[in-house]
Structure 1
Amino acid sequence: MLRIFFAWCQSPHRMLVVILLAIFPLGVLAEDGKTPFEVFSDLMQLGQASLSEGDPKQGEAYFSQALRLAPGSLRAQLSLAEAFARQKQVRRAEAYLRHLLLDPARRANSAAYLAAIRILQDRYPVTGAGSFAILPSTNVANASSSPYFDTLLGRFTIENGGNAVSGIGVEVSGQGSYRFALDDGLSLELGGAVSHTWYDAPELRLWQGRVTVDIRRLTPVGESRVGLHYDRTFYPDIARSSPDRTATGVHGSWSWVLDARNRIAVYGLTEFRDYLNRPSFTGPFGKVGLNWSRRIGDSGTLTLGASVERLRPRLDYHRYWGGDLRAGYEQNLTRTLRGGLSMRASFRQYDTDFAAVNFSRKDVVYRPGLSLSDSRIKVMGGTPKLSCEYQIQNSNIALYTMSSVNCRIGWSYRF
């Protein structure tokens, strides 16, 4: 009899019945006289009816209730993703399916999740996102905190040195992509992005654009992306010697799920930066990095990261090796409020003696920070996030010693 029972339980739906009966013993019925399994079936039918009637928001509510009764139901999971997509929240639908795919406990359903993601990419090849941010800063122009620069030729006064000016910037950006699904879990993606940052001081205003071509691979144990990019930075209000530049290069990232709580990722890029009006700064740049994250408890996330970079412009005393260490922790403080703390330390060692001094430049930068967001605050479905960091930059070249408090009140919407 046991063999027959276990054979009967191989079906996911029959196993669901066993689980529900284990939680709700025979004779324990819902208030309307139905068993939990019957309630689950009713909710699924109501959800499908809502989709058919063009009300995916209501369908989302029904499917969410069904998943609370049967969290492992593949049918309910795929139906919920469909409800997201029909609300024009395609990225949310894909993110939900990727979350399920990368969950080691749900690996048996990985083929179904990959197939569902491909269906979404075929049906909605175009995705987009927009963001808006307010950028308060106590030192918008990154003015040196030292009024003087001592050199072998004497002491020079630094323009605005010791006179940091506070201000507020505004950033507006948009991005979009077109995906070609090549196979389950494999896609070719063409992307573009543009952003504009505005400050009261005209010389700080800039436009940035980016075009990418990527091959993306998604599997039950991780994700990878390799591609080409072209970047353009433009300062429209600087007449001469502006820091306008282009950057053309190759980038890649690879991530793996180690277990239910730990993930690791490596990334890298190499590009050639061409400063259109400052040719001495033109040259190659490269960077590689490593990130590790761990879930702590029900809502906490610990992250650690490190990277190494190299810049080789034509002007030798601007060439450097750099390193970066990062740590952060976020968790829910209340049912709706989420907070985080972060710490970042960066180091740059330049190759040769700086101009007019007999030693090379060395910078060390510390950035402690915090962030807050409250899910009760919604703007077009997105939750704004406040993040602030205190930047302390120490340098043996007085031109580059500075400090500031920089904040960002940002909101994004994905469709």
Structure 2
Amino acid sequence: MKVTVITAFPEFFRAFFETSIVGRAVERGLLEVDVVDLRDYGEGSYSKIDDYSFGGKGGMVLMAEPLALALEGLKGDPYVVYPSPQGVPLTQETVETLFSKGDVVIVCGHYEGIDERFVSSRVDLELSIGDYVLTGGELPAMVIIDAVSRLVPGVVGKGRSVEEDSFFKGMLDTPHFTRPSSWRGQDVPDVLLSGNDGAIEDWRRREAVRRTLERRPDLLSRSGLLGYMDKNAFLMLPLSEVSSPWEIRSIARSCGFYGVSKLLIPVEDRDTRDSVRSLILREDLGALVKLFPSVARALRWVSDKEKAVPYMVGFNGFNSSGLSWLEIKREILKVSRPVIFMAGGDEKDCDVTMRPVAGDDRSRSALPVQNAISVVLDRFFGWR
């Protein structure tokens, strides 16, 4: 990973690149960094890099030509980032995108900013670290570099610690404690002292869910639920909702891809059930699909298997009065029950009904059933 910073204040970065985790990564050759002094490309004997803003309003603005010359002096075809209050918010997804670029240049503005002509012609991404104004882009540049460097293999001692960070999987991090186990009347949770790895993992998962629901429920739109649920997820597909063996095959494989435990298909007619069973065997879908003579038998099987009454989520593509998928994600994490998504059929026994996967016509879904199911599964179990 290579990061270049173009700045009028290179001394800002000296300590940052010589100390801490980032400094050690640079020393070990895991991260290549370079700081370009913008004044080396300034105009005239005074190395001028800024001038007054046109229009008679505002202060000094960094000139386009010195910035362009500094950028043109670099090798390769780097991805250019400009920290700016007008930019898109910095998120973990953006950090991962920057890491994937491999070669990133961060252009630090100052004063009133930089000439818009440089921004429009040379900058690939304007990036904001928050809705506030700083005196320059140097501090945001350090934030960006620190966040990206954590994704470089070997920079952080344990790769798993990165995966457990807040936002990495869409949820907030769990609480952390260290010695002593009792401090000023406050004790570390007993489970963390138990030595029971399974119980500790379960506690951490629950705490991540609790914190996210309490503090940042908006994050649930970006997180897959499967690793944070107490029970498994299932999909119920009445045979009346599909018209061909290809659809069953497609839906079953979507379930497997998103980690859904089983595709449950109730089929009352024995001959039809035998025909579907033959299809399942022929397509090697036995691990993904289970047939039942009725919906009631399927529900009873899930209850016995999961030791809990399932939470039923209905979506038949026509009920525009249901809850949004994001509201239902929150409910699923609260109820601690196995979840069955009911793709069609009678929704009167469902705990909640979801609004249809719809376009401009929000009263119904125009998607084929297998496509609508894939969208729903991705919303709930896809990773961002």
Which band: TM-score by shorter chain? under 0.3
TM-score, length basis structure 1: 0.22
Flag the structure with higher helix content: 2
TM-score by length of 2: 0.23
Normalized per residue, the structure richer in strand is: 1
